[in-house]
Amino acid sequence: MRALIPDLKRKIATALLLASASAFVSCVAQKEQVRLVDDPDEHRESTIPWNKQEKWETESQFAGTTDRR
């Protein structure tokens, strides 16, 4: 029985080492670069046409009456 205790301690230590190493690596991995300052002059381009109206929004029977500019 005494011979099994050091073997059990070694298995537990190895398991804890592997678990902590995998947790450390998963926390450190980053997909994009972290910025220290957010640049307001940087223009992030989008492919979404934000200001373009859909066809159903512009061509209705009340198109002229609801436009109050």
Tens of pLDDT along 2-61?
A: 666 778 889 999 999 999 988 887 766 666 666 677 777 776 666 666 777 777 777 766
d(CA 22, CA 25): 5
Residue-range domain boundaries for the chain: 3-57
d(CA 18, CA 13): 9
Q: How many residues does the chain have?
A: 69
What pTM does this model have?
0.37
d(CA 20, CA 29): 14
